[in-house]
Amino acid sequence: MRRPPKETEQAAGLVTRRGVVLGGLQLGFMGLLGLRMRQMQVTEADSYRLLAEENRINMRLIPPSRGIIYDRHGIAIAQNAQNYRVIIVREDVEDVDETIAKVRRLVDIEDRQIERALREMNRRSPFVPITLADQLSWDDIAELSINAPALPGITPDVGLSREYPLGVDFAHIVGYVGPVSDRDLAQLQTPDLLLQIPEFQIGKIGVETKLESRLRGKAGTRRIEVNAGGRVMRELSRDDYTPGQDLQLTIDHGLQNYAQARLSTESAGSVVIDVETGDLVAMASAPSFDPNLFVRGISSKDYDGLRNNDYKPLFNKTVQGVYPPGSTFKMMTGLAALRAGVIGPGERVWCPGHMTVGRRRFHCWKRGGHGWMNLDDAITQSCDVYFYEAAQRVGIDKLAELCHEFGLGERHDLPLSAIEEGLIPTTKWKARMRDEPWLPGDTLNSAIGQGFVLSSPLQLAVMAARLATGREVKPRLVKSADGLELPVADMPPLNISSSQLRMIQKAMWNVSNGRRGTARRSRIVAEGLEMAGKTGTSQVRNITAAERARGVTRNDQLPWNRRDHGLFVAFAPYDKPKYAIATIVEHGGGGSSAAAPPSRDILLYALYGDVPPLEAYPEDQRERISAMHEEMDIRPRLKPETKPSRA
- The predicted model gives 431-435 an average pLDDT of 96
Give the CA dihedral 64, 66, 72, 73, nearest 10 degrees. Answer: -70
**Measured distance CA(22)–CA(25) in Å, rounded:** 5
SS3 content of the chain, % helix, strand, coil (to 5): 45, 20, 35
- Mean pLDDT check: name the lowest of 34-43, 74-83, 91-100: 34-43
**Measured distance CA(303)–CA(360) in Å, rounded:** 47
Q: Quick: pLDDT tens for 155-208.
A: 787 878 899 999 999 999 999 998 887 787 777 766 777 777 767 889 999 999
Q: Is 327 a catalytic residue?
A: yes
Q: Quick: pLDDT tens for 474-521.
A: 999 999 999 999 999 999 999 999 999 999 999 999 999 999 999 999
List the chain domain ranges: 82-162
Amino acid identity for residue 123 in this structure = R
- Higher pLDDT among residues 351 and 2, named by residue: 351
Task: Reply yes or no on whether the pLDDT at 231 is more than 60.
Answer: no
pLDDT of residue 227: 58
**Measured distance CA(416)–CA(579) in Å, rounded:** 21
**Residue 415: pLDDT band by 50, 70, 90 thresholds?**
very high
- Higher pLDDT among residues 233 and 277, named by residue: 277
**Measured distance CA(97)–CA(115) in Å, rounded:** 11
- The predicted model gives 391-406 an average pLDDT of 98
Amino acid identity for residue 468 in this structure = A
* Prediction pTM value: 0.85
| DSSP label at residue 631 | H
Task: Reply yes or no on whether the pLDDT at 86 is more than 90.
Answer: no
pLDDT of residue 174: 98
The CATH class for the domain spanning 82-162 reads alpha beta
- The predicted model gives 67-73 an average pLDDT of 97
8 A C-beta contact, residue 272 and residue 259: yes
- Exposure of 453 by Cβ count < 10 A (0-12 exposed, 13-18 middle, 19+ buried)? buried
Q: Which range in 197-211, 235-249, 337-351 is most confidently predicted, on average pLDDT?
A: 337-351
8 A C-beta contact, residue 499 and residue 555: no
pLDDT of residue 212: 94
Q: Which range in 93-107, 533-547, 588-602 is most confidently predicted, on average pLDDT?
A: 588-602
What is the DSSP code string of 382-436? T-HHHHHHHHHHH-HHHHHHHHHHTTTT-----S-TT----B---HHHHHHHHS-
Residue 601: how many CB atoms within 10 A of its CB?
24
pLDDT of residue 149: 78
- Helix locations, 137-176, DSSP H: 138-146, 171-174
Cβ neighbours of residue 69 under 8 Å, at least 6 residues apart?
76, 77, 78, 79, 174, 207, 208, 215, 246, 247, 248, 249
- Higher pLDDT among residues 208 and 43, named by residue: 208
Q: Quick: pLDDT tens for 452-478.
A: 999 999 999 999 999 999 999 999 999
- Exposure of 457 by Cβ count < 10 A (0-12 exposed, 13-18 middle, 19+ buried)? buried
- The predicted model gives 306-324 an average pLDDT of 96
Three-state DSSP state, 582: strand
**Measured distance CA(216)–CA(203) in Å, rounded:** 9
8 A C-beta contact, residue 399 and residue 388: no
- Higher pLDDT among residues 113 and 373, named by residue: 373
Task: Reply yes or no on whether the pLDDT at 38 is more than 80.
Answer: no
- The predicted model gives 396-416 an average pLDDT of 97
- Higher pLDDT among residues 541 and 251, named by residue: 251
**Measured distance CA(145)–CA(136) in Å, rounded:** 13
- The predicted model gives 586-610 an average pLDDT of 96
- The predicted model gives 66-81 an average pLDDT of 96
Task: Reply yes or no on whether the pLDDT at 599 is more than 60.
Answer: yes
8 A C-beta contact, residue 438 and residue 396: yes
Catalytic residue among 270, 285, 288, 327: 327
| DSSP label at residue 279 | B
The overall average pLDDT reported for the chain is 88
- The predicted model gives 356-375 an average pLDDT of 94
- Mean pLDDT check: name the lowest of 4-13, 61-70, 151-160, 576-585: 4-13
CA 626 and chain centroid, separation: 33
- Higher pLDDT among residues 532 and 9, named by residue: 532
pLDDT of residue 647: 46
Amino acid identity for residue 275 in this structure = V
- Higher pLDDT among residues 291 and 127, named by residue: 291
- The predicted model gives 262-275 an average pLDDT of 97
8 A C-beta contact, residue 479 and residue 72: yes
Q: Quick: pLDDT tens for 562-579.
A: 889 999 999 999 999 999
Amino acid identity for residue 207 in this structure = V
**Measured distance CA(499)–CA(584) in Å, rounded:** 30
pLDDT of residue 550: 66
Beta bridge partners of 572: 579
